[in-house]
Amino acid sequence: MKVALVTGAGRGIGRATAEAFAREGWAVVLAELRRTLGRRAERELRRAGATARFVETDVADAASVAAAVRATLARFGRLDCLVNNAGVVEVGPLADLSLADLDRMLAVNLRGPLLAARAALPALRRRAGAIVSVASQLGKEGAADFVVYCATKFGVVGLTEALAEEVATSGVRVFAVCPGLVDTPLAHRAVGVAPGAPGLIRPETVARVIVDLAIGRRRAASGAAVDVT
């Protein structure tokens, strides 16, 4: 049974991605900071017949990320895909953002994927696995009041391109997905849209692209930043 480790898997895109992998017959490790969300996702996935394990994980902390990878290997003996999904956003002019908000976005959105990729690569090399990171359309085009968020998501796209070149001979494939505005709590709070508002992308749509890239059903060159609309 193949194994995916999904960060920020308690809700939104991460939860939908875990469910999509489970439908493909994969085991899923739910690397989630919020214990209540992680345990609920684990319970509901198992109730649906999936093989799932919650591991409390702070993606901004190197020791926590390494522990999540070790827990995955201890439980399942392999890792076939890392999904870097965990993300946060604070909206407002750069000069008005607190240093705490700035540091948190950098830590979760950019340091997190770097740490997770670094920790997972040895196991992924053994399986010619995949890394799929959730970037954004704001990782390709800047927007006022989203300066730090854009910087982190541009960074995820750059990470993807550079890491794909670095591991090109290993068999590991590296992708980013770049959705527009997704119907998630993060988007509802960031831009003030109501759940289910017209024009929002469903988390399941993003999840399907992630899984299709991971299993090779969707063809893209390693290093690609794939738009999701």
- 155-208, pLDDT tens digit by residue? 999 999 999 999 999 999 999 999 999 988 887 877 778 888 888 999 999 999
pLDDT in tens, 112-163: 999 999 999 999 999 999 999 999 999 999 999 999 999 999 999 999 999 9
Q: What span, in angstroms and rounded, lies between the C-alpha atoms of 28 and 160?
A: 22
Q: Which domain holds residue 140?
A: 3-228
* pLDDT mean across residues, the chain: 97
190, two tokens: 């960031």
Contacts of 198 (CB under 8 A, 6+ apart): none
**Could you give the residue numbers annotated as active site?**
149
Partners of residue 225 on adjacent β-strands: 176
Segment 62-76 shows an average pLDDT of 98
Of residues 66 and 183, more confidence is placed in 66
In 3D, which of 10, 12, 7, 19 has the Cα closest to residue 189? 12
For residues 142 and 91, the answer to whether their CB atoms sit within 8 Å is no
pLDDT at residue 80, rounded to an integer: 98
Give the CA diameter of the chain: 49
CATH of the domain at 86: 3.40.50.720
The total number of structural domains that make up the chain = 1
pTM assigned to the model: 0.96
Confidence at residue 219, expressed as pLDDT on a 0 to 100 scale: 94
Separation CA 59–CA 80 (nearest Å): 19
Q: What is the model's pLDDT at position 183? A: 87
